[in-house]
A and B are shown apart, each in its own frame.
Chain A
Amino acid sequence: MPPLVTASRSSSTRARSADDTVGSSWADAPCPVLVVDRYGTLVQLNDAARLLLPEAVSGNRLHETAPSWLSDAHRKIAGGPGEAPATPLSGSINERIVLAHPTAAAGGDVVWWLVDDTDRHVAEEAVRSAQTRSQILTEASSTLLSTLNVPRCMEVAASMAAQHLAEAAVLVAPAQGRRHPLTYAPRGGPVVQVSRQIDTHSVPGLPEALQGFPPVPARWIDPSVLPDWAIPEGFTGPVGSVIVTPLPGHGVPAGALILLRSSTEQAFTEGEEVFARLFAARAGAALSAARLYTEQATITATLMNELLPPPLQRVHGVQYAGSYRAAKDHERVGGDFYDVHPGSDPSRETLVVLGDVAGKGLDAAVLTGKIRNTLHALLPLADDHQRVLDLLNGALLNSRHTRFATLVLASVRRRAGRAQLRLTSAGHLPPLIVRADGRVEEVPSRGTLIGALPIVTAHTVETALDQGDTCLLYTDGITEARGGPLGDELFGEQRLRRVLAECGGLPAEAVVERVQMVAAQWLGTGRHDDMAVVAISAPRTGGLSVVDGRRGTGRKDG
């Protein structure tokens, strides 16, 4: 029999025997080492183990000294076949995380090598939480940036904050007038948005956070000073901890976030505070992007409204109708324009202007605005079209560019049942007149385009519209519409004349609709320029329409 089996069972001899077997080197090992016999008695331990288990001494029962995960594991190994488990055991001992590697020693003893794993564990935990946070931040960014609607953005920001950062969040937006838009988001509850007059000074740090600049750090505040308005409805229990963090925008204050936790939950850790700041930065960026976009959209809409063609109607016994379609369907303004300036009384002429500015989009729209304003100011001189064009040309001449406009001026006055017309084209397509019987005539007015040459000349043509006649002013967007059966054919003046020939006797509105409709059909889905049409009609008088009611288009004369 091997000598080990016959060894004495007294503990002192056992200790020696362990020394003999394991060797004395384990005593100097930097990691804690425990030698435990098969009955669970601590036989030996080294200095490192004493540090880990300060109360342990040789002879202790393992289950009284060490945590149960270790003593249980020991019982299993010592009682069983004595094989080490495939993966090292892990558990905590006195707030340290250790890995326990057992090796068999003589006489059924087990030597437990304990490796301190706390740092790795902490690092892994940090990585895991950093991953979770960066996931949350990514989600926050993509969710927040997917909307440019400010209230929706605030709702998402507050609700995400309540979900990931605190038990409840209150987003305070910069004041609009005297009221602050407030967004309340209790965790799991519905988000409530109100606009309320609040005293921002009632929450310490809030006024600074709302200013946006200079940037202020998130700060802790005493929960007891929190005013009622800052606590969302449905927030249960007393407030335990509160953080006020600014939402930094792109140079503009985007608001502030108040994060609340009840006293039953743990207070914010330093890491969470940093995380709250990162979240706030993203929310602030998204909010200010949404806010800037909304401002831009409002400005554009305001400008557009100024630049949009006016609705036309009947003026002093003459019918006017207009239609405008911008080059791109999503744009509402462009390089074509028209206006009708009614005479101050029926004896005075009404001035109609239709024109086209070289170029496209907003640049062109701004120039049309300038032309329309200038012409409005020149109305008192409208008796002399040449003079108006001279002055307009002078106002538009510019040394930097040669962006020009072509336009038609039409002065209209009703006299003795007819509409008297004075027409002047300044480099524009000649107006067409469709008589009540369907004949189409071109008005032979010619003139120089406006805004590029120092001197402009123009030739005014006088004509008259009888009842049922219509004069059509149009831009080249109509005649140069490309489409048709071959897809790339110009609509052309001839086709326009043929369409007009079918419009004899129709009211102005119907003529405009017909022309736009046929041109639109010609285009199909093709690319096109701005298209503007204005029709001037001498309507049939009420009496005539009853007598001559063939078309049923006559209207009562005003």
Chain B
Amino acid sequence: MTNLPPTPFTVTTDREPPTLTVRVAGELDYDTCGELVDAVVRELYDAAELRDVRLDFHELAWIDSSGLSALLMVHRHTSAADTILHLDHRPGFLDRMLRLTNVLEHLTATADHDEADERNGDVTEAGAT
């Protein structure tokens, strides 16, 4: 189906209290989304000194509805752990999906000021309309 080898899906966590950075590369979909939730949950409940969880989507190749479902689940966990979720370096397709489904605000509700800055810098083809 594809001529290019697909980017393998990887989740890399980098813990520098009070920030946890999770780099997501490849396709976040039905088959891989569980890994992301597991990785975040593992780090979240490992120690309590975290304040921010940053998901870095710089190398995200694709996301489907299951992937979005996973992001909502991650948000539930970060809220429960009293941490702030940031969605960094969102590719256009991700931004578009978050806006279409009207969950962008919800996912980043407590981090509005940070997001606004990043959005201006990183997102080029954002917006569904």
Within the complex, the shortest CB–CB distance from A427 to chain B, in Å, comes to 4
Q: A486-B3, A487-B3 are in contact. Are A448 and B66 (CB under 8 A)?
A: no
Instruction: Assess whether A429 is interfacial by the CB under 8 Å rule.
Output: yes
Question: Are B2 and A487 in contact (CB-based, < 8 A)?
Answer: yes
Q: A402-B72, A527-B1 are in contact. Are A444 and B129 (CB under 8 A)?
A: yes
Q: Which of B50-58, B101-109, B118-126 participates in binding chain A?
A: B101-109
Instruction: Assess whether B43 is interfacial by the CB under 8 Å rule.
Output: no
Q: How far is the CA of A480 from the CA of B128 in the complex (A)?
A: 15
Instruction: Assess whether A414 is interfacial by the CB under 8 Å rule.
Output: no
Instruction: Assess whether A406 is interfacial by the CB under 8 Å rule.
Output: yes
* Residues of B close to A430: CB separation below 8 A: 128
| Number of residue pairs spanning A and B whose beta carbons lie under 8 angstroms apart | 76
- By beta carbon, the residue of chain A nearest B74 is A402
CB interface residues, B 23-53, toward A, < 8 Å: 30
Q: Which of A267-275, A288-296, A353-361, A512-520 participates in binding chain B?
A: A353-361
CB interface residues, A 462-476, toward B, < 8 Å: 476
* Residues of B close to A71: CB separation below 8 A: none
Instruction: Assess whether A491 is interfacial by the CB under 8 Å rule.
Output: no
Instruction: Assess whether A337 is interfacial by the CB under 8 Å rule.
Output: no
Q: Residue A529 contacts which of B64, B69, B70 (CB distance < 8 angstroms)?
A: B64
Q: Residue A448 contacts which of B65, B70, B102, B128 (CB distance < 8 angstroms)?
A: B102
Instruction: Assess whether B73 is interfacial by the CB under 8 Å rule.
Output: yes
- By beta carbon, the residue of chain B nearest A527 is B1
Q: How far is the CA of A458 from the CA of B129 in the complex (A)?
A: 16
Question: Are A449 and B129 in contact (CB-based, < 8 A)?
Answer: no
Question: Are A488 and B4 in contact (CB-based, < 8 A)?
Answer: yes
Count, chain B residues at interface, CB 8 A: 21
Within the complex, the shortest CB–CB distance from A344 to chain B, in Å, comes to 32
* Residues of B close to A524: CB separation below 8 A: 1
Question: Are A453 and B106 in contact (CB-based, < 8 A)?
Answer: yes
Q: Residue B1 contacts which of A356, A404, A429, A482 (CB distance < 8 angstroms)?
A: A482
Q: How far is the CA of A541 from the CA of B70 in the complex (A)?
A: 49
- By beta carbon, the residue of chain B nearest A427 is B101
* Residues of B close to A453: CB separation below 8 A: 72, 103, 106
Question: Are A356 and B65 in contact (CB-based, < 8 A)?
Answer: yes
Q: Chain B CB within 10 Å — which of A358, A476, A482 has the most?
A: A358
* Residues of A close to B73: CB separation below 8 A: 401-402
* Residues of A close to B3: CB separation below 8 A: 486-488
Instruction: Assess whether B81 is interfacial by the CB under 8 Å rule.
Output: no
Q: Residue B102 contacts which of A403, A447, A480 (CB distance < 8 angstroms)?
A: A447
Question: Are B69 and A359 in contact (CB-based, < 8 A)?
Answer: yes
Instruction: Assess whether A385 is interfacial by the CB under 8 Å rule.
Output: no
* Residues of B close to A404: CB separation below 8 A: 65, 68-69, 72, 101
Q: Residue B2 contacts which of A442, A488, A529 (CB distance < 8 angstroms)?
A: A488
Q: Residue A358 contacts which of B1, B65, B76 (CB distance < 8 angstroms)?
A: B65
* Residues of B close to A17: CB separation below 8 A: none
Within the complex, the shortest CB–CB distance from B64 to chain A, in Å, comes to 7
Question: Are B69 and A406 in contact (CB-based, < 8 A)?
Answer: no
- By beta carbon, the residue of chain B nearest A523 is B1
Q: A402-B73, A486-B3 are in contact. Are A359 and B65 (CB under 8 A)?
A: yes
Question: Are B102 and A402 in contact (CB-based, < 8 A)?
Answer: no
Q: Residue B103 contacts which of A403, A427, A428, A525 (CB distance < 8 angstroms)?
A: A427
Show 16 A/B contacts (Cβ-Cβ < 8 Å), sorted by A. Answer: A356-B65, A358-B64, A359-B30, A406-B65, A406-B101, A427-B103, A429-B100, A446-B100, A446-B102, A449-B68, A456-B102, A476-B65, A480-B64, A486-B3, A487-B2, A525-B1
* Residues of chain B having any CB pair with chain A under 8 Å: 1-4, 30, 64-66, 68-70, 72-73, 76, 100-103, 106, 128-129
Q: Could you list 7 further interchain pairs (A-B, Cβ under 8 angstroms) beyond the known A358-B65, A452-B69?
A: A403-B69, A404-B68, A406-B65, A482-B1, A482-B2, A488-B2, A488-B4
